[in-house]
Amino acid sequence: MKSLFFNKVIDAYHKSSIIGSLLILLFVYPTDGNSGPKLPLLKVKENSISFTDTDGNNRIDAGEIATVEFILINKGNGAARGLKMRSQLTGITQDIIIANPSIPSIGVGKEQTITTILKAGMNVHSGKALLKLTVTEPNGLDCSPVEVEFEITSFQPPKVIAADGIFSSESGGTLKYNYPANLEVLVQNTGTGNAEEITVEVKLPEYVLNLEPPHHPIVRLKPGESVRLNNGFIVTARYPTQEIPIKISLREKHGKYGSAKIFSARIDQPLATAHVNIQGEEFKNVTIIPASLHSDVDKDIPINLYGSKNRFALIIGNEDYKRFQTGLQSDQNVDFARNDASVFREYVRKTLGFPDKQVFMLTDATRGQMSRELERITELVKLNPGSELVFYYAGHGLPDFETRQGYLIPVDVTASNLKDGISLKDLYSKLASSNASKILVFLDACFSGGGRGENGLLAARTVKVKPKGDIIEGNIVAFTAASGEEVSLPLTKESHGLFTYYLLRKLKETKGNVTLDELRNYLDSELPKASLIENSVKQTPQVLVAPDLGDKWLNWKLL
């Protein structure tokens, strides 16, 4: 009977296409005898359309996969069968592959999530594309089209570099044989595309032992994004030289957008204890600046090839008091003092042209070391008539609560044994005895009883002392970091003392070609503002000048 009925339907179709279509509709969607054929009604669920790409930047990048999803509901009184997806892409279409899903039948009142996959090849062009998706039904009961417009980005190459590196240890100090140290490396993607499947390989010389795995995997770095990696190592006593080159090799999944860089350390060089927080940024069609673990004043230090051979410098950075004195807390150390001294030494050597052999530096110096080096440098200057002398100190200073005289504090001198420190009066007298033609003193310390982080060696005492004015003699001009009862504070984001940072910044900006008057005016202008902004307290530098100099010091130049 069914075969006879089908033949009659076909015969009717040949006689009239309209009548034939109606008969087919009745055949595919049978009636219940009362309400006519049971038909589907396909609707896209409201607010169900979504576009998702692999890296979540809401566009399709070269080599990336994305999906377009929506929910299709059958609101009719009959099941939907024989459904197919029809897709049409306009705009940028080159090297885009579309994979449409197969769609099962959708029952009455049921819904189905429809997912279309798009794959961008490596040769796509940048621009916009419009994807039009339609679910078709055999008898033309199609759903309304879904349209999604999205951006396509052509291949943007990454560039993975070792942007910066810092040698450090838990307690600072210097790099020694048979003692653990660390190289912290900042790995950054400075390209305009995502870097993926990155491998960082650390290659050490023979007789330098790795304390960490030599390979570090990184899943992905977005443009501008960076990550910090620690590489512990020990230089054994068998290592034959003082220079330790450590090679960092970087590879990514394409095999051609990595790089390599060598970071070198030397035995007895100062090691850092603190680091800078770095945050990368996403690609926004701007130039990406390599990130750094160092301050801007630590890099690209100006070099002057011609300097005076008759110049001497003694530089001291006292940071780690806790290591020499039991009972102190780590926040009673002087943050960044070693870094202050080390970078100031580089400016003295490179920018101001002091001969390397005439620049002396101490870090975490004891009373005996400080006294011996002061004695040595004054005797050297005496043997070189007409010489110039620079003295720099970053560390704790303390006042005598009775006499209000200021003292420089070696790392092995306690607040209760203040007289074992080096008084400013004795310091100035010693330097003046050298008979140098010019003596410049830079003190990144305060003498009120406070200290960097407002937790100095006298943190238990709540009253600060206004230091007594120190008597300057000879040919001395002294720049100090703070005045009166103020404290000398750090600029944490730059890993320097506030005073030292602005001193170095002026040296960098002027390439050392600056008069003492210009330097004074600059520090007077910049330091108090920066201190209020960064530390919320006032810090005012001051300049002390030997009376015999009059005004002639104003035109003295550092270079």
The three-state secondary structure class of 503 is helix
Lowest average pLDDT, out of 104-118, 126-140, 290-304, 345-359, goes to 290-304
Q: What is the pLDDT of residues 65-85, one digit of tens each?
A: 999 999 999 999 999 999 999
> What integer is the mean pLDDT of 328-343?
84
Q: What is the pLDDT of residues 268-325, one digit of tens each?
A: 888 876 443 333 333 344 456 566 777 899 988 999 877 788 999 999 999 988 888 8
> What integer is the mean pLDDT of 466-487?
82
Which one-letter DSSP state was computed for residue 142?
A: P
On the question of a common fold for 160-294 and 305-550, the answer reads: no
Report domain extents, the chain: 1-38, 42-153, 160-294, 305-550
Highest mean pLDDT among 275-279, 448-452, 456-460: 448-452
**Fold exhibited by the domain 305-550:** Rossmann fold (3.40.50)
> In the numeric block, which tokens belong to residue 330?
């780590």
Share of the chain above pLDDT 70, in %: 86
Lowest average pLDDT, out of 24-28, 132-136, 325-329, goes to 24-28
Which one-letter DSSP state was computed for residue 432?
A: H
Instruction: Flag whether pLDDT at 27 surpasses 60.
Output: no
Instruction: Flag whether pLDDT at 463 surpasses 80.
Output: no
Residue 306's identity, in one-letter code, is: Y
Instruction: Flag whether pLDDT at 200 surpasses 60.
Output: yes
> What integer is the mean pLDDT of 509-538?
95
Q: What is the mean pLDDT of the chain?
A: 86
> What integer is the mean pLDDT of 505-532?
96
Q: What single string gives the DSSP state of each residue in 310-372?
A: SEEEEEEE----TTTSTT--GGGS-TTHHHHHHHHHHIIIIIS---GGGEEEEES--HHHHHH
Instruction: Flag whether pLDDT at 169 surpasses 70.
Output: yes
Residue 333's identity, in one-letter code, is: N
Cα 244 → chain centroid: 25
Between residues 3 and 363, the one the model is more confident about: 363
pLDDT for the residue numbered 7: 45
Cα 288 → chain centroid: 12
Cα–Cα distance, 98 to 33 (Å, whole number)? 44
> In the numeric block, which tokens belong to residue 32?
């219940």
160-294 is classed CATH 2.60.40.10: yes
Residues 6 or more apart in contact with residue 131 via CB below 8 angstroms: 68, 87, 88, 89, 98, 116, 118, 147, 148, 149, 150
Instruction: Flag whether pLDDT at 326 surpasses 90.
Output: no
Q: What is the pLDDT of residues 386-438, one digit of tens each?
A: 999 999 999 999 888 788 788 999 999 988 888 899 999 999 999 999 999 99
Q: What is the pLDDT of residues 213-251, one digit of tens each?
A: 999 999 999 988 999 999 999 999 999 999 999 999 999
pLDDT for the residue numbered 21: 41
Lowest average pLDDT, out of 101-110, 326-335, 480-489, 534-543, goes to 326-335
* φ, ψ (nearest 5 deg) of residue 415: -65, -30
> What integer is the mean pLDDT of 17-41?
57
Cα–Cα distance, 25 to 139 (Å, whole number)? 8
pLDDT for the residue numbered 209: 96
Q: For every residue of 157-177, which 3-state class applies, written as one string? A: CCCEEEEEEEEECCCCCECCC
Which one-letter DSSP state was computed for residue 128?
A: E
Q: Class assignment of domain 42-153?
A: mainly beta
Instruction: Flag whether pLDDT at 25 surpasses 90.
Output: no
